[in-house]
Amino acid sequence: MTALVLPAGRTLLRQPIWMFAAAAALIFVGIAPHFVSIGNAQNVLLQSSTIGFLSLGLTIVMINGNIDLSVGWVAALAASLAVGLQSFGVLPAVIAGIAAGVLIGLLNGLIVWKSGIDSFIVTLGTMAAVRGVVFLYTREQSFAAMNLGYSAFGSSFIGPLPTLGLLFLVSASMLEFVLLKTVHGRDAYAVGGGRQASMDAGLKVGWHMTINFVLSGFFAAIGGIALSTQLGASTPDMGSDLVLWTITAIVVGGTDWRGGQGSLVGTVGGVFAIAILRNGLALMHVPSFYVLVILGAVLIAALVWERKLGTI
Amino acid sequence: MVDTQTHGEERKQVPVLRVEGMSKHFLATRALDNARLEVLGGEVHALTGENGAGKSTLMKILGGALTPDTGTIWLEGKKVQFKGTLDARRWGIVLVHQELSLVPQISVAENIFLGNLPRRSFARVDRRKMIQDANQVLRRLECDFDASTLVKSLPLGKRQMVEIARAFSVSPKVAIFDEPTASLSEQDKEILFRAIRDLRRRSVGIIYISHRLEEVFEIADRISVLRDGAYRGTLLASDTDEAEVTRMMIGRNVEHACATAGHAGGEPVLEVIGLSAPGKFRDVSFTVRAGEIVGMYGLVGAGRTEVAEAIFGLRRTTDGEIRLRGKRLHRISPKEAVAAGIALVPESRKEQGLVLNMSCRANVTLPLLDAVSTCGMLDFGREQVVFDRYAQALAIKTTGSTLKVMYLSGGNQQKIVIAKWLATDPKLLILDEPTRGIDVGSKAAIHILVRDLADRGYAILLISSEMSEVLGVSDRVLAMYSGQIVADFDARDLTEHKLVSAVLGDKVDESRLPTLPMSQAIHGK
Amino acid sequence: MDGQQSIGTVTSSAERPSVSMVYQAMLRQGLIIAFLIFMGVLSALSPHFLTVGNLLSVLRQASVLGCVALGVTVVVIGGNLDLSVGSLLSFTTVVAVTMENSFGPFGAIIATLIVALICGSITGFLVGFVKLNSLIVTLAMLSAIQGVVFIYTSGNNVDVANPGSTWFSFIGRGFIGDLDFPIIIFALVAISVEVLLYLTGFGRRVFATGGNAVATTYAGINPSLVVFATYLVSALTTGVAGLIMASRVMGAQNDAGQGYELEALAGIILGGTSLLGGSGSASRTVIGVLIVGFIRNGLILIGLPYYSQWLVEGVVIVLAAWLDLAAGRGKVFSDIT
């Protein structure tokens, strides 16, 4: 599917992360029981959707030269609203969740634009604030989804693909199109690669940054809601690890956090690579504690590797 | 030469650009003092002057990056005021910088059309048209690379061409080139000149800023001179010569400013033999003696700074030897270089020489922290003594040693850097463009200081691209071109013309050039 | 742009008139004035706020975070970040307890500090010598160290075996006069860090490296060594914080330190230290940490749940950073087009 959107010449194989993902998959084929099965593959795709959605928006923000630390807790907020407000109907609740994500993204963008504060500090602030809001709203309770259809959605399929996985891939393709083909997308790269040069050339830098933060908030919300449909619930500490995994997927996928460079193809590769890694390790009954260590090691290894390649 | 005649007659017109009464100051320095300029459409108007004369400042104002304190700008007869660089561009003034304003991670085409990407339906970029149009401009500039190449994969010279292509992609009324040939090869320079002549044919007013008079006379119709921020006059290129322009630039005839009898020099402090660093310089050999000032002259990119870096331990060399007082230095780090007695006053004082946010005192003692501490604890008293000694010696004007160095004027900042290195008590002092961007008064003071240091026995290597500085201060002059030392002159017999010829790679008066390979010439006497 | 994305916009200093220096000082006082107003309002709303007991309680609570933040301050001045301190705190707390059980208090102290230093050297090596980006590396270490903690404790929380028969509890619960011992430790660490930063050659090197690593290299100093050392400092102070925490609770949860890395950053930012590097002080961080502490304390005293502090913190961080930037450039809004 992504092949339809990519310009001629850029193939999946050019991104080293896909080779890493393929290699990891091959290794697990050998050592992990039940790894090779349709069910498991579907599982991997499903599990990658949450981090997947978050990393789509965050990748664009990073290409733009910024960072958004609030994605994890925005996801949690959206999930809590989408589940907690279901007494008003599922659709209004979901819309409320998405709206929350969009609004916070807008806030992030406007503050970064108008204040000139680095996005690290701004999103550190909004992350803390959103976390507070989540806890205030949920009062540290987990919410269970009232609507059974909601949780069923999380495990539903369209054809052979899990719905959420399909949505993820479709979103990724659309965003890749935006990045590669539209003016906004190309300007995002320009701003990320040279903010001052872009300003001098007359680009509406602040406007572009705000749109990208809104995208990030939007997809963070979608990701959170997606996770809650799988769990059939929202938990108060949902947001804590998400941003770490998201950044890992993006960095491992080859996007340069300093801006100007990167692609969603790489990020999707990173998301799959990590999902495969987690899935394989889980099938091998490796305790989740070790997974954390491996995650950290993988991230560091990716950095060293990219440094050696000269992309850093 | 330039066919000014035809152009001069065809156009007795309202100048496309006129500037009057322009002044600008930065803290203590007066960068522009009631400057004026007038450029006709279809003319190449050179703006020249020494470093610090105000050319860059005037250009930045015209380009909309700075606002002047006073002064008016008329564009095609209309008074204008620029609200920023974009505004200036919209008015039709296009600037080709010294510091490139490109985004390296994206393609050449996207850089050329930055902010102005051609569009298709649905907010898409018309990539084909963009690359096509970009390639058109590139072909006009005879560039051999495709517009879809990423800028980061291009070497500096080609990047400069992309920057120039940006100017050519719009139809400007005025095009300003600021030292455009700084990183260009001879070939690229010719291409650029052809393109500039093309612009001239299209009635664009061109301002060509350079202090390289050879080039100026090659391309310009008229020449205006700035000195110390003030306007000195405009001449028709066909009516004048380099000597006259130089006189206007520096206010005196080219003579050696220091009348000290040429120093034979004491014993050799620095001996460089056959030093090579691939891609930067090759087979460099020379000697600097105690009490001697050796000037190193050459164009940007000639490799002089790289040689200095190699001596100081900042750059790896693949061949050759460096000896300090007879002892061989092998693969040292900057720390070891300092300990051995080498000091380097670097080219860019803000980026390499100072920590702007720290106090003057802290900057001066940075390489000597161990000397002003006891068991790791700083001794502020000792620190102050060191600072006072050198502040006095160099006449550094500062309201207090704890003032952050960023608030000082350029001249005083440079003095802090020099003070810092003098405080390390070096045997060899390397100065890389020590008076760049400094007002004339401080410049003279630094020259006197350097001379004084030599008299006291320091061995000094002075790298400079300012002719008068090199000629006026040095005992001997090395000319560097394209990574090699092409001539080794005794300053007493050196003229500007000889030096320029040597440095541009032209034939030099044979009797002046050593006939032996460098290393033999130095050691074989 | 250049290699490292700058944090906060850098305005041209060549043209900055001295008026802005006064203005900036006033605005910096403005933050303190606002804080004093905050304190005033809270003391009006809750009679317990300004009691000695409460103030000491805040100080004591702030001591763990304070020690962590002081170490991170040194890293930040050197131009980097350290997000690994959260799990490092968990690690040191857990190690302190388990070592106390095996070797007694002295063993606990020594082992904790050694473990901390080992972690710090790994991080310092990766950032200083391999020159990887500190944000992402320390993020990775945050995760990896937490995993190590889980492995080490097999997922369980740990307790001190014989709380009655050891003086270990003195570290976290003891008193010297009227002051809780943790407060004294906090003060000592603060003084030590300030001395390190302002009175030693090492401190100078840290400021220089954070301010301009290139110029520092040209001055003959090796920035990699300096950066490496800053991570050792932050590891050490986090080790001390872990000892205080373990001793106070006489046990350790295996995620005891979660979130501390961000709270520490909040404290540093609120104190006015620039994340760009090259400036800052221990006293600023102490103030920032105290602000965080008083916010939490004040909110609880009014009856709000503890998590409302995050909301307030988030808003305050953004406001403080904006104020700081606005003061520096003389304009409220940025120049971004």
DSSP B160: H
Mean pLDDT over each residue of chain B, to the nearest integer: 81
The verdict on a CB contact (< 8 Å) between B351 and C207 is no
pLDDT at site B439: 66
Residue A170 has pLDDT above 50, yes or no: yes
Residue B228 near residue B33, CB atoms below 8 Å: yes
Residue B134 lies in a domain: no
Q: Select the residue from A292, A298, A309 to test the C interface by mutation, using most C Cβ atoms within 10 A.
A: A292
pLDDT at site C20: 54
Nearest to B376 among C15, C200, C222 (CB): C200
Statement to judge: residues B48 and B183 lie in one domain: yes
Q: Within a 10 A sphere around the Cβ of C152, how many other Cβ atoms?
A: 16
C235-265 pLDDT, tens digit per residue, is 999 999 999 999 888 888 888 888 898 899 9
Nearest to C219 among B366, B377, B378 (CB): B366
Residue B54 lies in a domain: yes
**Closest among C152, C146, C80, C88 to C120, alpha carbons compared:** C88
The verdict on a CB contact (< 8 Å) between B373 and C201 is yes
Q: Select the residue from A58, A71, A112, A117 to test the C interface by mutation, using most C Cβ atoms within 10 A.
A: A117
Is C233 in the B-facing interface, judged by CB distances under 8 Å? no
Q: Which one of A31-35, A253-257, B16-20, C61-65 scores highest in mean pLDDT?
A: C61-65
* Nearest chain A CA: its distance from B17 CA (Å): 22
Is B406 in the A-facing interface, judged by CB distances under 8 Å? no
Which domain range does residue C162 map to?
19-329
Residue ending a domain, among B250, B277, B295, is B250
Nearest to A116 among C126, C155, C336 (CB): C336
Query: Can you say how many angstroms the Cα of residue C254 is from the centroid of all Cα atoms in its chain?
Result: 20
| CATH number of residue C310's parent domain | 1.10.3470
With a CB cutoff of 8 Å and minimum separation 6, the contacts of B450 are: B293, B431, B434, B460, B462, B473
**Backbone angles phi and psi of B376, in degrees to 5:** 85, -15
The verdict on a CB contact (< 8 Å) between B377 and C200 is yes
CA distances (Å), origin B460, targets B265, B301, C122, C172, C249? 11, 21, 43, 62, 66
* Nearest chain A CA: its distance from C221 CA (Å): 24
Chains contacting chain A through 3 or more C-beta pairs under 8 A? B, C
Q: What confidence tier does A10 reach under pLDDT thresholds 50, 70, 90?
A: very low
User: Which residue in chain C has the smallest CA separation from B362?
Assistant: C204
Residue C337 lies in a domain: no
CA-based diameter of chain C, in Å? 66
Residue B157 lies in a domain: no
Note if the pTM is more than 0.90.
no
Grouping H, G, I as helix, E, B as strand and the rest as coil, residue C150 is: helix
Residue B259 lies in a domain: no
With a CB cutoff of 8 Å and minimum separation 6, the contacts of A168 are: A45, A48, A49, A52, A53, A56
Q: Select the residue from A62, A200, A312 to test the B interface by mutation, using most B Cβ atoms within 10 A.
A: A200
Statement to judge: residues B325 and B432 lie in one domain: yes
The verdict on a CB contact (< 8 Å) between C220 and B337 is yes
Statement to judge: residues B201 and B315 lie in one domain: no
Mean pLDDT over each residue of chain C, to the nearest integer: 85
Residue C315 has pLDDT above 50, yes or no: yes
Nearest to A193 among B86, B106, B127 (CB): B106
* Nearest chain A CA: its distance from B257 CA (Å): 42
Determine how β-strand B174-178 pairs with β-strand B205-209.
parallel
Residue A168 has pLDDT above 70, yes or no: yes
Nearest to C279 among B354, B357, B370 (CB): B357
- Bridge partner residues of B216 (DSSP): none
Statement to judge: residues B216 and B289 lie in one domain: no
pLDDT at site C25: 64
Residue A255 near residue A63, CB atoms below 8 Å: yes
pLDDT at site C28: 62
Statement to judge: residues B195 and B240 lie in one domain: yes
Q: CA dihedral defined by C134, C139, C140, C144, rounded to 10 degrees?
A: 130
Q: Which residues of chain C does B26 touch, with a Cβ-Cβ cutoff of 8 Å?
A: 14-15
* Nearest chain A CA: its distance from C13 CA (Å): 16
The verdict on a CB contact (< 8 Å) between A121 and C275 is yes
Q: What is the DSSP string of chain A?
A: -HHHHSPTT--GGGSHHHHHHHHHHHHHHHHSTT-SSHHHHHHHHHHHHHHHHHHHHHHHHHHTT---TTHHHHHHHHHHHHHHTGGG-HHHHHHHHHHHHHHHHHHHHHHHHHH---HHHHHHHHHHHHHHHHHHHHTT--EE-S-HHHHHHHT-EETTEEHHHHHHHHHHHHHHHHHHHBHHHHHHHHHHH-HHHHHHTT--HHHHHHHHHHHHHHHHHHHHHHHHHHHTEE-TTTHHHHHHHHHHHHHHTT--TTSS---HHHHHHHHHHHHHHHHHHHHTT--HHHHHHHHHHHHHHHHHHHHHHT--
A2-309 CATH choice from 1.10.10, 3.40.50, 1.10.3470, 3.30.720:
1.10.3470
Is B170 in the A-facing interface, judged by CB distances under 8 Å? no
| CATH number of residue B57's parent domain | 3.40.50.300
Q: Which residues of chain C does A304 touch, with a Cβ-Cβ cutoff of 8 Å?
A: 130, 132
**Closest among B337, B355, B384 to C204, alpha carbons compared:** B355
Residue ending a domain, among B221, B250, B279, is B250
Statement to judge: residues B38 and B184 lie in one domain: yes
Is C199 in the B-facing interface, judged by CB distances under 8 Å? yes
Q: State the count of interchain CB pairs (< 8 A) between B and C.
A: 87
* Nearest chain A CA: its distance from B110 CA (Å): 8
Q: Which residues of chain B does A205 touch, with a Cβ-Cβ cutoff of 8 Å?
A: none
Statement to judge: residues B26 and B57 lie in one domain: yes
Number of domains in chain B: 2
Residue C334 lies in a domain: no
* Nearest chain A CA: its distance from B10 CA (Å): 35
Q: Of the ranges B44-53, C174-183, C256-265, C308-317, which one carries the lowest mean pLDDT score? A: B44-53
pLDDT at site B5: 43
Statement to judge: residues B200 and B240 lie in one domain: yes
Q: What confidence tier does C23 reach under pLDDT thresholds 50, 70, 90?
A: low
Number of domains in chain C: 1
Give the pLDDT mean for A240-265.
85
Is C23 in the A-facing interface, judged by CB distances under 8 Å? no
* Nearest chain B CA: its distance from A186 CA (Å): 8
DSSP B63: T
- Both tokens of B171, joined, read 């139809």
Q: Select the residue from C218, C275, C337 to test the B interface by mutation, using most B Cβ atoms within 10 A.
A: C218
**Closest among A228, A230, A235 to A94, alpha carbons compared:** A228
ipTM: 0.85
The interaxial angle of helices A38-63 and A239-252, nearest 10 deg, is 80
Residue A212 has pLDDT above 90, yes or no: yes
The verdict on a CB contact (< 8 Å) between C215 and B354 is yes
Residue A83 has pLDDT above 70, yes or no: yes
The verdict on a CB contact (< 8 Å) between C8 and A195 is no
| Ranges in chain B, pLDDT < 70 | 1-13, 27-29, 51-52, 98-100, 182-183, 250-265, 300-301, 437, 439-441, 503-525
Nearest to C215 among B338, B352, B372 (CB): B352
Q: Which carries the bigger pLDDT value, residue C25 or residue C93?
A: C93
The verdict on a CB contact (< 8 Å) between B373 and C216 is no
Statement to judge: residues B519 and B441 lie in one domain: yes
* Nearest chain C CA: its distance from B454 CA (Å): 22
The verdict on a CB contact (< 8 Å) between B376 and C207 is no
pLDDT at site B275: 87
Please state the domain extents for chain A.
2-309
* Nearest chain C CA: its distance from B286 CA (Å): 23
Q: What is the DSSP string of B5-55?
A: HHHHHH-----SEEEEEEEEEETTEEEEEEEEEEE-TT-EEEEE--TTSSH
Which domain range does residue B331 map to?
268-341+426-523
Give the pLDDT mean for A218-237.
89
The verdict on a CB contact (< 8 Å) between C310 and A132 is yes
Statement to judge: residues B441 and B309 lie in one domain: yes
The verdict on a CB contact (< 8 Å) between B122 and A261 is no
